[in-house]
Amino acid sequence: MKTKLSGILTLLLAFVVHITFAQDKTISGTVTDADGLPLPGVNIVVEGTSNGTQTDFDGNYSITASTGQTLLFTYIGQKPSRRTVGAGNSINVQMVEDAQALEEVVVTAQGIKREKKALGYAVTSVGSEDLEQRAEGDVARVLSGKAAGVNITSAGGASGSATNVTIRGLSSFSGSNQALFIVDGIPFSNDTNAGVNGDDGSFISGATQGSRFLDLDPNNIASVEVLKGLAAATLYGTRGKNGVILITTKAGAAKTGPKKTEITVSQSYFTNEYASLPDYQDDFGNGFDQSFGWFFSNWGPSFERGGVAGWGNQPAIDDNGTLEHPYSTTAVAATRNAFPELQGTRYDWKPYDSVEEFFSPGYVTNTSVNVNGSSEDGNTSFNANVGYLNDVGFTPGNSLNRTNVSLGGKSILSNKFTITGTMNYARTDYKTPPIAASRGNGTDGLSVYGNVLFTPRSVDLMGLPFENPIDGSSVYYRNGNDIINPRWTAKNVTYRQLTNRFNWNLALAYQLNDNMTLNWRSGLDFYNERNMNGSNKGGVEFNSAIFGFYDTYDNNNSIWDHFLSINGNYDLSEKLGMSFIAGATSRSDIFDQSGVSSTGQIVYGIKRHFNYENQSPIQFSQKQNIIGLLAQATFDYDDYLFLNVSARKDWVSNLTSENNSKTYPGVSLSFLPTNAISGLRSEGGLNFLKLRGSYGTSATFPTGYPIFGVTEQNTQIFTDASGGSVTTNQIGGFQANPDLKPELLEELEFGFESKFLKNRVSLDFTYFHRTTNDLIVDIPLSPATGFTTTQGNVGEIVNKGFEADLGIDIFKGENFSWNSKVNFFANDETVTEQEQDAIFYAGSLAQGGALFRGSNAAIKGESLGTIVGTAIGRDDNGNFLVNSAGNYVVVEQDADGNVPIIGDAIPDYTMNFINSLRFKNWNFGFQVSHVKGGDMLSSTTAVLLGRGLIQETANRLDTYILPGVTESGAPNNTQINNSTYYFSNLLFGPTETRIYDASVIRLQEVSLGYSFPSKFLDKTPFGSLTITAQGFNLWYDAYNMPDGANFDPNVQGVGVGNGRGFDFINGPSSRRYGISVKASF
């Protein structure tokens, strides 16, 4: 009996022990690096399960596991560590650096991953932490200042306005200089589509359109690599000539390896307000020479009664400081009849905050949900992301609304195949009133900004009726009602782009053997951009507004991209290795535009084509095919010498067989002295040194069909005797040139990369020298030929400069760290060969307009950023010439008969100072940008001064004598008053007087964040939780511009394109600030 009882007790004890060991418990601890500093973001997985977590900002973690199970700790740059769960509940881990894993790996051309030390050219990487939870919906603007040599400018501060992205300046003045965007391996179109029927769109309308950068969600980006030089982009052929920005989305970054399913949610809210309204004077109102009048200008009497300039001596203004209402004194009978209640009423003579009240703060909400995970064996992984952005601008009628859905995955199959794929969908709805160019005397195109910013201080813009209640037409304060009311414009003139975009890629890799892989990738980028632009009738100044218009058209754009390659990696000897790729690629670009343009609205308020008298078709299509063969071989010797040789040959469809193919060779060399020379490396001195050099080539092929005469068919121009349509065929003024060749580009690049003082200091430097030959230009023809222009190959551009990146860990401790980065860029673009006197490639002269506004011009021996326009006359000694009225003499041609050079838009340099500080769980960061030099023709500044609106013009009693001499050579002694100086000379005088130095210092970004420690989250569903307050463009100082203008020079006044150094009253820039929350589960 005792034996039986003993056996039962033994079995019971064994059962209890088994239950005890099998029961889950919470394991917690801290993970540190070799120096004992906490490691945030370490992955911890219970091996054999999908149960996992990550360490928090302090390196702390907690996870449920059973005794006997194994915890796997993994972190980039550290060796994996395993710990078996024992009886205790605490496991602390100190990880050990993995020297091989520490080698930085970057994505290069065609998605090839390579160690950065092996690259013989410059590459800049930007991580997701620099892109997420930003107030900007445009990924291009989020990248601003993050990489040396990448210049990003906007068409204005409106939500969704266009963005221009160039790398290392311009290399062509006729072709596009926009960088190539690659998203998950597939080319991504970043078009602006400002024009219709094949017209590229003038600068008048170009600023209104948005860029297709808007379709990308910054919250869905895992990493960005910037390939700057031609050698880096050789494998992309002609499309990579302007540099390449490689974007890997989170869907495209799905990785293999065991990982628990993780959900990350982020939510942001930001205020969106104007940052650059002028500092208006509130001392004087409408008029000229201190006399009242309902003019555009603000040179009238004072708002104070007494004094020489006071309103007390103005007959129109009574002793109470009132005058008859402008809608009562107007010469337009229709306006008087529409407002009988205002006839004979009085109007207060005082300053109004019209401009400030026209704008109202907007907001930005941004939601992102990401789900990612993998199978238990780690061979299959997935990533899904959903994002929603609602960006309401500070300008009436301006908004951007976007929905993004992204899905990607990767699976290693048992039959040597690996399959990866991504799918991205975006729906982008961009709305805006017209924000086109203006010169401050009415607008050149419909523009809500053009008639707001120079509103006289005595005009109550927000209090005056803006719409005739009888017919809906525009009414305003001018005696002849000859200026359109901007409130009417904001309500009645609308532009909308509704875009549905879909891009996907599918890739298969087959492991031929241990050394070679066969790869195939195919992808499509397609968007349908529905444009709906219209105006009710009833405007003034322009026929389009007077009679009304309505345009609806679809832009359908597709890029089909296919790539087949074989990749290999061999050890040729103990010290010599080789990797290679050889492949073929094809790309097909198809653009189709179709729609209807209607004019002459019949019934006010109905924007439908049936309600317009005249209709005409909008029809345009264009196609280009590119087939390429490519190869690249990389040799590495003993881990310190790397040689890369590459080549690509393209065949392009829209040139003759003699000129439609080019071969682009490239070579780069990387040498690591610290690996090659024993004793050169020391822990407290030089830790790493790489010397590199490269040579690359590329070409620019023309768009469209420049070698063919294109015939247009029309059935609406002529009719026969019975009234039937006569079909006609006609050609335009362009003469085809079958001998046209592509532009050729060559680039040399040299540089070094170094690290010092235990890798706490890094310095990278790059010098480049790029030459573009056989520039494609428009050549004027004699009308006697029957044509006006053709295209030919003329000229050469040399673009040279340097980039520098400095990084310093100022302090690195357990509780506090401070890292600073500085990037610097300077370049010089010179036209070294050019057969014409000048080629006007951007601005008013390039569009056939007047010289008044100025243009960019390519002139032999001059900078490619040259600005031309009318100049102040000068005598042989360089003295300014002043006419008998005391004003500057205006010169439209210099002594050689050429348009005068008045400025250079290329800055002396750009520099960004980026800081990141950490104190325990707190993070603080800021970015300061400085652009030094670069001229700008600023219509905004000229108008504010010329119309007497800002503080610089408040002194109305002093007189001026312009420096200079009369035509007889005698010193000028003619006095002019304040209004004549500003109005006649700075606004309507020589264009040269509107040139300003566009130097600016900017507080680009500021952020303050807090990450909750894991001990606060143990009993919550959160794996991590971070709250961050952020601000963007919080402060700037354009220190060489008039203070009262408060002008922000970061504007692309002519819209997206090659034009630089222009502001045509493009409106205020944007300041955004708010809070974001990010949580993982």
CB 285 within 8 A of CB 299: no
Instruction: Identify the CA nearest to 690 among candidates 147, 229, 116.
Output: 116
For residue 389, the model assigns a pLDDT of 94
Q: Are 863 and 856 in contact (CB under 8 A)?
A: no
Residues 138-190: tens digit of each pLDDT: 788 888 888 898 988 887 888 888 888 899 999 888 778 888 888 988 888 88
Which pair of structure tokens corresponds to residue 660?
């439609």
Report which of residues 673 and 88 the model is more confident about. Answer: 673
Q: Which amino acid is located at 1025 in the chain?
A: L
Selected residue with higher pLDDT from 212 and 933:
933
Q: For residue 814, what pLDDT is reported? A: 84
Give the Cα separation of 238 and 258 in Å (integer): 41
Residue 652: predicted pLDDT:
94
Q: Is residue 1010 part of a domain?
A: yes
In a domain, residue 958? The reply is yes
DSSP string of 307-325, one letter each residue: STTSGGG-TTS-TTSEEE-
Cβ neighbourhood burial of 516 (10 Å; 0-12, 13-18, 19+): middle
Distance CA 955, CA 714 (A): 61
Distance CA 261, CA 54 (A): 12
Burial tier of 1064 (Cβ tally within 10 Å: 0-12, 13-18, 19+): buried
Instruction: Specify if 542 maps to a domain.
Output: no
- Alpha-carbon distance 529 to 491, whole Å? 23
Q: Report residue 232 as tokens.
A: 């880096």
Model confidence over 719-770: pLDDT tens digits?
Answer: 667 767 777 777 778 888 899 999 999 999 999 999 999 899 999 999 999 9
pLDDT digits (tens, 9 = 90+) for 14-70: 444 444 444 678 888 999 887 777 888 788 888 877 677 888 777 888 888 888 888
As beta bridge partners, residue 1026 has 1011, 1078
Cβ-count burial 555-592 (b if 16+ within 10 Å, e if not): bebbbbbebebebeeeeeeeeebbbbbebebebbbebe
* pLDDT number for residue 272: 95
C-alpha span between 433 and 489 (Å, rounded) = 7
Closest CA to 395 of 419, 369, 362, 365: 362
Q: What is the rounded average pLDDT for all residues in the chain?
A: 87
Question: What are the pLDDT digits (tens) for 1041-1075?
Answer: 999 999 999 887 777 778 888 888 888 999 999 99
Amino acid at 230: L
- In this model, does residue 11 exceed pLDDT 50? no
- The beta strands (E) that lie in 155-207 are given as 163-167, 180-183, 186-188
Greatest extent of the chain over all pairs of C-alpha atoms, in Å: 138
Contact of 161 with 207, CB cutoff 8 Å:
yes
Using the 3D structure, point to which of 62, 77, 97 is the last residue of a domain: 97
Q: CA nearest 129: which of 914, 805, 791, 850?
A: 914
Strands 1000-1011 and 922-932: antiparallel
Residue 92 is predicted with a pLDDT of 92
Domain membership of residue 77 as a residue range: 24-97
pTM for this predicted structure = 0.86
Contacts of 507 (CB under 8 A, 6+ apart): 185, 419, 420, 421, 519, 520, 521, 522
Give the integer Cα–Cα distance in Å for 866 and 859: 8
What is the secondary structure of 358-370 as a DSSP string?
A: H---EEEEEEEEE
Q: Around 239, how many Cα atoms within 13 Å sit in the side-chain half-sphere?
A: 28
> In the predicted model, is pLDDT for residue 255 greater than 70?
no
Closest CA to 590 of 500, 703, 507, 504: 703
Strand partners, 423: 407, 504
Name 673's Cβ contacts closer than 8 Å, sequence gap at least 6: 640, 680, 689, 691
Residue with the two structure tokens 């948005």: 210
Q: Domain for residue 667, yes or no?
A: no
Q: Which residues contact 715 (CB under 8 A, 6 or more apart)?
A: 725, 726, 727, 728
Tokens encoding 148? 């040396």
Asked if the structure places residue 879 within a domain, the reply is no
Average the pLDDT over each of 67-76, 134-143, 332-341, 855-864 and give the range with the smallest value. 134-143
Residue 578 confidence (pLDDT) above 90: yes
Question: What are the residue ranges of helices labelled H in 664-746?
Answer: 673-676
- How far apart CA 385 and CA 252 sit, in angstroms, is 11
Q: What is the mean pLDDT of residues 655-669?
A: 92
Q: Lowest mean pLDDT of 130-134, 143-147, 424-428, 609-613, name the range.
A: 130-134
Whole-number pLDDT of residue 40? 81
Q: Which residue has the higher pLDDT, 243 or 213?
A: 243
Per DSSP, 709 falls in state P
Task: Look at residues 51, 67, 97 and tell me which one is the last residue of a structural domain.
Answer: 97
Q: Which residue has the higher pLDDT, 25 or 404?
A: 404
pLDDT band at 257 (very low <50, low <70, confident <90, very high): low
Which of 908, 991, 911 has its CA nearest to residue 946?
991
Cα(615)–Cα(98) distance, rounded to whole angstroms?
70
**Arithmetic mean of pLDDT, 416-432:** 93
Last residue in a domain, options 39, 66, 97: 97
Q: Is the pLDDT of residue 220 over 90?
A: no
- From residue 233, alpha-carbon distances to 271, 469, 646, 670, 695 in Å are 39, 60, 10, 17, 11
Q: What residue type is assigned to position 1020 of the chain?
A: T
Looking at residue 79, which CATH number applies to its domain?
A: 2.60.40.1120
pLDDT at 174: 78
DSSP state of 397: T
For the chain, how far is it from start to end, CA to CA, in angstroms?
A: 56
Would the pLDDT of 8 be above 50? no
Distance, CA of 201 to chain centre: 19
Q: Which residues pair with 871 in a beta bridge?
A: 891
Look at residue 720 in the predicted model and tell me its pLDDT: 67
Pairing state between β 362-374 and 346-348 = unpaired
Task: Tell me the one-letter amino acid at 680.
Answer: L
- Say how many domains are in the chain: 2
| H/E segment holding residue 17 | helix 2-22
- Identity at 770, one-letter amino acid code: R
Residue 3, exposed/middle/buried by CB under 10 A (0-12, 13-18, 19+)?
Answer: exposed
The encoded tokens of residue 1059 equal 């034009």
Residue 267, pLDDT > 70, answer yes
pLDDT tens digits along 872-886? 999 999 999 999 999
Per-residue confidence (pLDDT) for residue 823, from 0 to 100:
96
- Establish if 582 belongs to a structural domain: no
CA distance 391 to 1070: 12
Q: For position 699, what pLDDT does the model report?
A: 92
Q: Are 864 and 829 in contact (CB under 8 A)?
A: yes
Residue 217 lies in a domain: no
Query: Looking at the predicted structure, is the pLDDT value of residue 12 above 60?
Result: no
Give the Cα separation of 569 and 577 in Å (integer): 8
| 8 A C-beta contact, residue 599 and residue 614 | yes
CB atoms within 10 A of CB 919: 12
Confidence band, pLDDT 50/70/90 cuts, at residue 338? very high
pLDDT confidence bin for 5, thresholds 50/70/90: very low
Is-contact 1044 952, C-beta < 8 A? yes
Percent of the chain with pLDDT over 90: 54
Q: Are 597 and 559 in contact (CB under 8 A)?
A: no
Determine what percent of the chain is predicted with pLDDT higher than 70. Answer: 92
Domain assignment present for residue 119? The answer is no
DSSP assignments along 431-486, one per residue: EE--B--B-SSSBSS-BTTTTTTT--TT--TTTS--B-TTT--B--SSTT--S--H
